[in-house]
Structure 1
Amino acid sequence: MGKNKLFLSVPLIAVLVLFILSLTLIPSVNPQPEDVPIAIVNEDIGVKVPNQGELYLGNKMIELLLSVEEENSVVDWIEVKSTEEVINGLDEKEYYGAFIIPEEFSQKQASLRTAEPTSPHVEIIINEGKNYPAATMVNQVLNDVVENVNDTVRSQLLEEFQAEGGDLTVKQVTSLVNPIEAKTTKVNQVGENSANGNAPVTFFQPLWMSVLASAAILCFVTNKQTVLSQKENARLALAKVLMGAIASIVIGFALPWVTDAVIGLTMPSYLDTALFLTITAFSFILMILAVLSIVGIRGVPLFVVLLFFGAPLLSLAPEMMPSFYANWIYPWLPMRFMVEGLRDLFYFGNSLSWEMVSVLVWIAFVSLVVIMLTALKGKNTKK
């Protein structure tokens, strides 16, 4: 009778699986960025203009940018005091980019009305390593901002020249093409052979499948045994943990080697990458074993679903996700700590540190406690 019910439930199961997998595709379909943090620095010292007093054209630029923010929620302009503070913020992954107005901005912009114009410039800094697709979008947004400002400045200059009459010099005509120049600098660059900045995500799927297979096999093998005492149960649990540690070492050191040999992904330090992946793999194996120790081997599909949910989200910046995924799904994905750690190693010039692995270590510790408590609660029987 039970088999007949299972047979008849196949269409319902198929629809359920289809629905779940469809939910995993939503974030990557036409992502809409919102409130992308971009730093803005105004170092303009102003200029004295006869009959007009002191002009601070950098302030007008700031007002224009903030007015654009009110109409468009794509960018969240964050005013910062100095370029040094911006650079620190970029290295700490606080901003996807920066817009810097230099000291001589007003002076050079005022010269555009003279016979010897000198085009002012603004500095655009793109933080590639934070998230390459988002950084590419930020680059386009900031260059569009400069182009829009150029249209406004160009129109104003033409009106003034027309009102004054007379011929324009070659330098004046040339300056009208791009009244304000944009100088773009990229920091924390992803470089070549980086899967377009998604090398950390590339490591995720093979590692996750490896740890899931390892944990499932360990759970399946140990559940075949009947242990009568808590002491033997504890020994069996410790054996699972030990084998999980060995499997993690193999996964951690083999994955970057295979990836480098087959794909040729660039990684600054093989040893740091291998050690970080080893800690990550051990943390994930213990986490999976902890859940399977409670619900049994039937808990494996849960982690398969996590794979499908995690893969598309990990390649997106949170600001490019639908709000539900950004607020309720992404923060709870344990694999995001793996990707964030690899970004630090690959693109921000950091060495392996406690800060990178602290959350992963806590996941491993809590999981280990759950495994041991489950082992000590009573007899282990076949599931």
Structure 2
Amino acid sequence: MDGVKNRKWMLAPILALIVVFIFSLVQIPAAKQTPKNVPIAIVNEDAGMNTPNNGQMNAGDMIVKMITQATNEKTDDKAPTVQWITVSNLETAQKGMLEQEYYGVLMIPSDYTVKQASLQTPTPSSPEINIYVNQGMNAMAANTVTQMLNGIVDNINKETRTKLLEAAKQKGPSLTIEQAAIFGAPITKNVHYVNQTGTLASAPTALFQPLWMGSIAGALLMWFGLRKAGPSTPKNRLTAIAKQIVTGAIAAIVVGFGLAWIADGILGYDLPDFTSTALFLTLAYFSFILMISAILTWIGIAGMPILVLLLFFGAPLLALAPEFMPTFYRDWVYSWLPMRFLIDGLREMFFFGKEFSWNQPTSTLVWIGIGSIVVSCLSILKPTTQKKTA
């Protein structure tokens, strides 16, 4: 007996280490953010100008070349931090941001070269570079993109200032008051945030947790209740599954509209479209409760660790943009998370002005629900152990 007790005591630190290891794995994506191939559009509308000595000159082209070359040189053989995508005009780039294709845009206006040339005249005019940050795609990514684009423009500012000072030295110390004032920061940087998150920045991930836990609770209650519903024959099982579907649908309506009301009225998220949000939450809950019910139908209570791990590993990832995750988590964890479609759908409605419609998040949740019903129905083929009676 003492040997058995000693072995149990020895298991305690091992189990504790396993728990610590699992929770450490959960924190890796947030602690080890590694931006890779972040799509950012670059728009060069600079028309250039003719100069007496050098002919046609286009400072915008030089900036684009410098930025893209610098990115390639820093990355060596690794994936670049930024994937620069050349776009013909600002209107196209803005449409791309609305379609969630770009995290940001670096835009050079049509008069950039003309204004840069004016810096060496007695009446200089500061050239501008416009930065657009697609905040709605991901709040955390938006902060990183803002820092990156600000750093790029600051470097351009520094190089321009150095060249201006060298040119001024060659001409002699005869700067006008206007030139002296503008030489400190010759390039004007304008930062614009589009598809702004406002008070809804954390809403998609905040609504996921109660919805997911409610789905688990609802599926468990139905599973425990239907286990007591008479002999386990194929006909009874199909009847039980039908009851699960109907009960789940009713619960989904209650939870979907109830959670939307709580988010709008109590949490103060100020939903842009209450009905669309409520309908989408209803669909998501119905899809999740069907999926969880299918797992419980086949595996039973042993399937609970799967659902708990989905919550632990899913919650931190849902707050990150895919391009900012470690490769393993992006390809082998995030890509398999069903709840990411809930986040994507809410993000489209909250930040991009979309309504409840047949789009990718909606269609995926529908197919998850249909697949779960099929899997549950197939459980009638599962052999059961009949209890012996004396």
TM-score (norm 1): 0.93
In structure 2, the residue matched to 1:83 is 90
In structure 1, the residue matched to 2:188 is 181
Question: Does 271-280 or 170-179 show the bigger shift?
Answer: 170-179
CA distance in 2, matches of 1:152, 1:381: 81
Instruction: Give the counterpart of 2:145 among 125, 138, 146.
Output: 138
CA distance in 1, matches of 2:14, 2:278: 43
In structure 2, the residue matched to 1:19 is 21
Instruction: Give the counterpart of 1:74 among 77, 81, 98.
Output: 81
Does residue 32 in structure 1 map to residue 34 in structure 2? yes
Q: CA deviation at 1:372?
A: 1.2
Which secondary structure state, in structure 2, belongs to the residue aligned with residue 168 of structure 1? coil
Question: Does 178-187 or 198-207 show the bigger shift?
Answer: 178-187
Change in Cα spacing, 1:336 to 1:47, as seen in structure 2 (3 Å) is same
In structure 2, the residue matched to 1:354 is 358
- Equivalence map 1:18-167=2 (5 Å): 18-70=20-72, 71-72=74-75, 73-167=80-174
Change in Cα spacing, 1:214 to 1:316, as seen in structure 2 (3 Å) is same
In structure 1, the residue matched to 2:176 is 169
CA distance in 2, matches of 1:86, 1:278: 34
Q: CA RMSD in A?
A: 2.0
Q: CA deviation at 1:91?
A: 0.6
TM-score (norm 2): 0.92
Equivalent residues of 1:233, 1:379 under 8 A apart: no
- Aligned letter for 1:357? T
Equivalent residues of 1:237, 1:375 under 8 A apart: no
Which secondary structure state, in structure 1, belongs to the residue aligned with residue 105 of structure 2? strand
Q: Per-residue CA shift, 1:104-161, capped at 9, x if unaligned?
A: 1111111111111111101111100000111111111111111111110101011111
Structure 1: runs of 5+ lacking an equivalent? none
Equivalent residues of 2:48, 2:112 under 8 A apart: yes
Change in Cα spacing, 1:228 to 1:315, as seen in structure 2 (3 Å) is closer
Equivalent residues of 1:97, 1:125 under 8 A apart: yes
Instruction: Give the counterpart of 1:266 among 261, 265, 270.
Output: 270
CA distance in 2, matches of 1:213, 1:11: 31
- Equivalence map 1:236-255=2 (5 Å): 236-255=240-259
Equivalent residues of 1:36, 1:74 under 8 A apart: yes
Q: CA deviation at 1:12?
A: 4.4
CA distance in 2, matches of 1:140, 1:258: 35
CA distance in 1, matches of 2:230, 2:353: 50
Report the identity percentage. 44
Change in Cα spacing, 1:24 to 1:320, as seen in structure 2 (3 Å) is same
- Aligned letter for 1:372? C
- Aligned letter for 2:354? N
Structure 2: runs of 5+ lacking an equivalent? none
Which secondary structure state, in structure 2, belongs to the residue aligned with residue 100 of structure 1? strand
Question: Does 304-313 or 164-173 show the bigger shift?
Answer: 164-173
Q: CA deviation at 1:324?
A: 0.7
Does residue 366 in structure 1 map to residue 332 in structure 2? no
Change in Cα spacing, 1:17 to 1:244, as seen in structure 2 (3 Å) is farther
- The total of aligned residue pairs comes to 377
Change in Cα spacing, 1:29 to 1:57, as seen in structure 2 (3 Å) is same
